Structure 1
Amino acid sequence: MRTDAQIKQDILDELAFQPNINETQIGVVVKDGIVTLTGLFFSYALKIAVVQIIEKIEGVKAIAEGIKIGYLSNLNKTDTEIANAAINAMEWNDSVPNDKVIVEVDNGWITLLGELEWAYQKDAVRQIAENLSGVKGVTNSITLNQFALQPEDIKEKITKAFKRSALVDALSITVETTRHAVKLTGNVQSVTEKKEAEKVAFNALGVYAVQNELRVDH
């Protein structure tokens, strides 16, 4: 089992290795495999990138991030500018149906509303919003309206998808389905595998919600 000191050093080394990240802006504390982050960034997208990098470090069980988003005066955007930029970006993205998403912006925080058919569309909208200049955070409240499927059919599709994945150990995960909701239990080897399992389940046809109770086992 890796020590907290080893995990922290790997995190610092990996952040220093990234050309677009100033590791001196980030405070890192590791206790029992749980990473707590603090600091100030001038990009919400960069904050997301840091979290994704740390999730891949061996030994990390969870991340509690307290990174704040601030702005240089020449990069500050009004809510109207952010909303217009979001709408324009979505119109240029083939994954997002036109006129299906409502964008609300309050003090730099985007709330996404509307109804889509597929989880990948919902995820695409979130990624578009996260990468916009001036954004402080994103709440994705888009709902899914898919075809009616029986719970056992949904479970079978997810289980087969796990078996096809090179990143997920299908034998270590139990899938339970109730109507359009999925519950995942069992043990996985990393936070990355846990998130990948949730992503696979969420992208299955007929799934509206995923309760991810997978435990990271080291």
Structure 2
Amino acid sequence: MTGVVDVREDQRIQRDVLAQLAWDAQLQPNEIGVRVDQGVVTLTGFVDGAARSWAATRSAQRVEGVRAVADEIEVRLPGTPGRTDAEVALAASRALEWDSFVPAERLDVTVANGWLMLRGEVEFGWQRRAAEGELRRLDGVRGLTNLIEVRPPAAAVADRLRRDVQRALMRTLGAERVTVEVDGDTLVLAGVVRSWWEREQVERVAWSAPGVRAVHDQILVGG
């Protein structure tokens, strides 16, 4: 009987993921294929930019019951001449400069065949995430590797950091099932949340804490 229940649940997840993808204005109808096996979603198909692939993955992660997402979507830039690597690099530099929360002068972007390599240092984890988010949306980007290091201006006090993050999680999500431990300047998150969206929000809160250089996310997505 369990096998029948699993199959029905996978079918339900597949329908919900397809509906979520169709609802997402960043994606074109019927350009993404969806397979589901025991809650693991595999996305296939072709899109014209890394931003669309990223959007599809994020949409699938928001669906209840999804345990993991395998992104097998292929990025195929349009056949007409698109941006050169030099043009993508220039657009990336300008995007970072226009974002007043990102220290563009401390970051370096290189581009090869539409793939961005992002290096440098920032003081806060949310700046690292913001820089990546800005560049993923650019036309002509096939993918991105984020090698930015987080170097806090001051060392965090472990007990206070743990309390502050736990309180922030309670305010935003009421996340009683998430535990926070501190190892030097690294936060270790554990526990179980109901959805990938909740997991993402927990990680966002953790990266926003002053003094955090790294976040080890061991949170599971379950019921």
Report how many aligned residue pairs link the two structures.
216
Q: Does 1:76 align with 2:82?
A: yes
* 1:118/1:205 contact within 8 Å kept: yes
Cα distance in structure 2, aligned partners of 1:61 and 1:75: 39
Cα distance in structure 2, aligned partners of 1:66 and 1:104: 25
Q: Does 1:160 align with 2:167?
A: yes
Ranges in structure 1 where 5+ consecutive residues have no aligned partner: none
Cα distance in structure 1, aligned partners of 2:123 and 2:105: 13
Paired residues for 1:42-121 under 5 Å: 42-74=48-80, 76-121=82-127
* 2:93/2:104 contact within 8 Å kept: no
Q: Does 1:38 align with 2:44?
A: yes
Aligned twin of 1:130: 136
Cα distance in structure 2, aligned partners of 1:131 and 1:181: 29
Shift in Å at residue 105 of structure 1? 1.0
Aligned twin of 1:207: 212
Aligned twin of 1:193: 198
Shift in Å at residue 75 of structure 1? 5.1
Which secondary structure does the structure 2 equivalent of 1:89 belong to? helix
Cα distance in structure 1, aligned partners of 2:126 and 2:150: 10
Q: Does 1:183 align with 2:188?
A: yes
Which secondary structure does the structure 1 equivalent of 2:80 belong to? helix
* 1:184/1:210 contact within 8 Å kept: yes
* 2:46/2:76 contact within 8 Å kept: yes
CA distance 1:75–1:92, shift in 2 (3 Å)? farther
Cα distance in structure 1, aligned partners of 2:202 and 2:193: 9
Shift in Å at residue 88 of structure 1? 1.2
Which stretches of structure 1, 4 residues or more, deviate above 3 A after TM superposition? none
* 1:12/1:23 contact within 8 Å kept: no
Which secondary structure does the structure 1 equivalent of 2:144 belong to? strand
Which secondary structure does the structure 2 equivalent of 1:12 belong to? helix
* 2:169/2:205 contact within 8 Å kept: yes
Cα distance in structure 2, aligned partners of 1:75 and 1:188: 45
State TM-score, norm by structure 1.
0.93
Cα distance in structure 1, aligned partners of 2:25 and 2:81: 21
* 1:75/1:134 contact within 8 Å kept: no
Shift in Å at residue 14 of structure 1? 2.2
Shift in Å at residue 104 of structure 1? 1.1
State TM-score, norm by structure 2.
0.91
Cα distance in structure 2, aligned partners of 1:138 and 1:98: 17
Q: Deviations over 1:179-199 (max 9, x none)?
A: 111111111111111111111
* 1:183/1:211 contact within 8 Å kept: yes
CA distance 1:125–1:216, shift in 2 (3 Å)? same
Cα distance in structure 2, aligned partners of 1:139 and 1:19: 25
- Percent of aligned pairs with the same amino acid: 35
* 2:122/2:150 contact within 8 Å kept: yes
* 1:25/1:39 contact within 8 Å kept: yes
Which secondary structure does the structure 1 equivalent of 2:210 belong to? coil
* 2:124/2:213 contact within 8 Å kept: no
Give the aligned residue type for 1:174.
T
Q: 2:21 aligns with which of 15, 18, 30?
A: 15
Cα distance in structure 2, aligned partners of 1:210 and 1:120: 11
Cα distance in structure 2, aligned partners of 1:149 and 1:181: 9
